Chain A
Amino acid sequence: MSANRLWELLARKHNDELTEDEQKELELLLRQQQEMFELNETFLRIKELQVRKLSSQADEERSRQAIAAQLGPLPSPPRSIKKGLWMTAVACGLLIIGILWWSLPKHNNVSSPASQNEIATSSSKSRVQLPDGSTVILNKQSRLTYNKDFGVSKREISLTGEAYFDIARNESIPLTVTAGSVKIRVMGTAFNVRAYAQDSTIETALIRGSIEVSSADDPERTIRMRPNEKIIFGKDISSLPSTPGIKIPEHRMPTQAFVQMNRIKPNPTDSTINEIVWVQDKLVFSKEPFYSLAQKMERWYQVKIRFKDTISQQLSLTGSLEKETLTEALDALKQLTPFNYRIDSGIVTISKKINTIN
């Protein structure tokens, strides 16, 4: 046997280029000598190793910005406001921040001592520029606090509600986001956190970069996330606030605290990501199946949408939503493509249009 032949075959195997015949030949060679087994084991370990990058995440970020600047006025992701609207949006954001600045201390919130800045939204979204250059888009009914000297000595953010973070990289000042019992350590990245007090789960979706997530239940155990992963922590049901008059919908009832890791799947029709669709200022869809649009609308309107039948799921819808309320939107949609809907404690139920019944 030729020693070189063995290495050629192993090299091919390393690169997953073995044909079936070569695979058999390799197995035969490995069986001839006992020590070959050990060799093969070692070889397989080398196969698991990764090449260290020559460029850093900061290089990647710089590249992204340089490319974005050459593509035109849209900074992305997330896909953002058109140029004309940009200034208005910033102005609105500042206005909201300004108003909150005045109004919030009066709420005498215990969790907001003088050493913290606080930003909260009620019925509209808000874009927040943090002192270190990071951008946060805060969804409706959400609250964000960060330390006063943010970016100087430390970067600590806490969140209730939902926010999309695009964090400036700074290795010397680590950044943490605390949302309920979940703590996220950030390395310079973009991700979405959904942690409404009334929800039974806390969701973190990583769009790019890398973050480490841990839960107060088990702070020792950190989970390193990769891009396009989503992690869902189930809350202990007893920790949910009982809001008078609002029943927790049954489908949101967790049986017990849990952790679940999912892949984020971009929408096949237009590659948007459902987890961050709320960040956009306009929801545009063209010949989109209702079940797929429903996922986006759930984020957009912060409701749950259920289908009674498969026929209504498959309806194809075209249009755009901007300032419409949920009922306005549904009424407009059903003008073009008939269906029935019912809204009951935060759940929209869609069913096909049947003329004979009712």
Chain B
Amino acid sequence: MPATPSEKDIITLFRQLSSTPDQAALWQLHTYYFHRLYAYILSLVRLKEAAEEITNDVFVDIWQRRHLLENVTMPEIYLFVCAKNKALRYLKSKSLPFEPLDKAAGLECVLEKDPHEMLISSEMLKQINEAIASLPPKCRMIFRLVKENNLKYREVAELLDISEKTVENQMAIALKKLTASILFKMV
């Protein structure tokens, strides 16, 4: 699993891309973001093949318009908005509606631990994942997006076209249920 880059790392990669035609920076971005962007796009378009193509398209676009990247200050959300716009264009071209939260019904979210992580037993992990599977789709989708991408509530709200408060509430519900799944005596 690639280490999570800091915002500064990504800004640096964006600068590199805009100033030199060096593909190394693009592949670095790809390593960091391919899986995350793919999961997000899949939640919108639901079809694996389409999601794959749109994800590739995001990176091709980044490359072709790399001169625009120099002044981007929030690179992560830039990538996700780019992904969202492409996914929406796809849905429109197929006359499919944009219903991100309903579309999320089929999207699983399974947590896993680092091999070195000793504090969580497999049994505990199993319970947590059962709890996630039982979350309402909308709640699970928000949890996945926040947890996987470390996006700010504000950013997730913008991506999903919902209020920041809703994101916060849903995250609270999700974490409460997950924690309860381990400590059932609580709550």
Contact = CB atoms under 8 A, between A and B. Distances in A.
B59 to A, nearest CB: 5
B113 A50 contact: yes
A156 B140 CA distance: 43
Interface stretch (B74-82, B85-93, B94-102, B104-112): B104-112
Given A42-B179, A53-B39, A271 B34 contact: no
Given A8-B168, A42-B182, 11 more contacts: A15-B146, A39-B186, A46-B111, A48-B117, A49-B111, A49-B120, A51-B39, A63-B55, A67-B59, A74-B23, A226-B1
Contacts of B109: 51-52
Contacts of B182: 42
A40 to B, nearest CB: 9
Contacts of B175: 7, 10-11, 14, 43, 46
Given A49-B125, A79-B22, A271-B24, A224 B115 contact: yes
Residue in A16, A38, A42, A66 with the greatest tally of chain B CB atoms within 10 Å: A42
A273 B28 CA distance: 11
Contact of B34 (A43, A45, A49, A63): A63
A52 B110 contact: yes
A208 interface: yes
8 contacts: A48-B113, A48-B119, A49-B128, A53-B35, A64-B30, A226-B1, A226-B2, A271-B16
B161 interface: no
Interface stretch (A54-62, A120-128, A236-244, A299-307): A54-62
B152 interface: yes
Contact of A226 (B3, B60, B148, B174): B3
B144 A45 contact: no
Interface size class of B (residues with CB under 8 A): 35 or more
Contacts of A10: 172, 175
4 tightest CB-CB pairs across the interface, nearest first?
A: A7-B172, A11-B171, A51-B148, A49-B111
Interface in A25-83: 35, 38-39, 42-43, 45-46, 48-55, 59-60, 62-64, 66-67, 70-71, 74, 76-77, 79
A76 B56 contact: no
A227 interface: yes
Contacts of A35: 186
Interface of A: 3-4, 7-8, 10-12, 14-17, 35, 38-39, 42-43, 45-46, 48-55, 59-60, 62-64, 66-67, 70-71, 74, 76-77, 79, 208, 210, 224, 226-228, 266, 270-273
B147 interface: yes
Given A55-B34, A63-B56, A270-B22, A46 B179 contact: yes
B30 A63 contact: yes
B168 A11 contact: yes
A49 B31 contact: no
Given A48-B117, A70-B56, A227-B2, A271 B20 contact: yes
B83 interface: no
Interface string B38-80: 1100100000000010011001100100000000000000000
Given A11-B171, A17-B153, A39-B186, A67 B60 contact: yes
B153 A77 contact: no
Given A7-B172, A8-B168, A48 B120 contact: yes
A70 B60 CA distance: 7
A210 B1 CA distance: 8
A306 to B, nearest CB: 28
A202 B128 CA distance: 42
Nearest to B38: A55
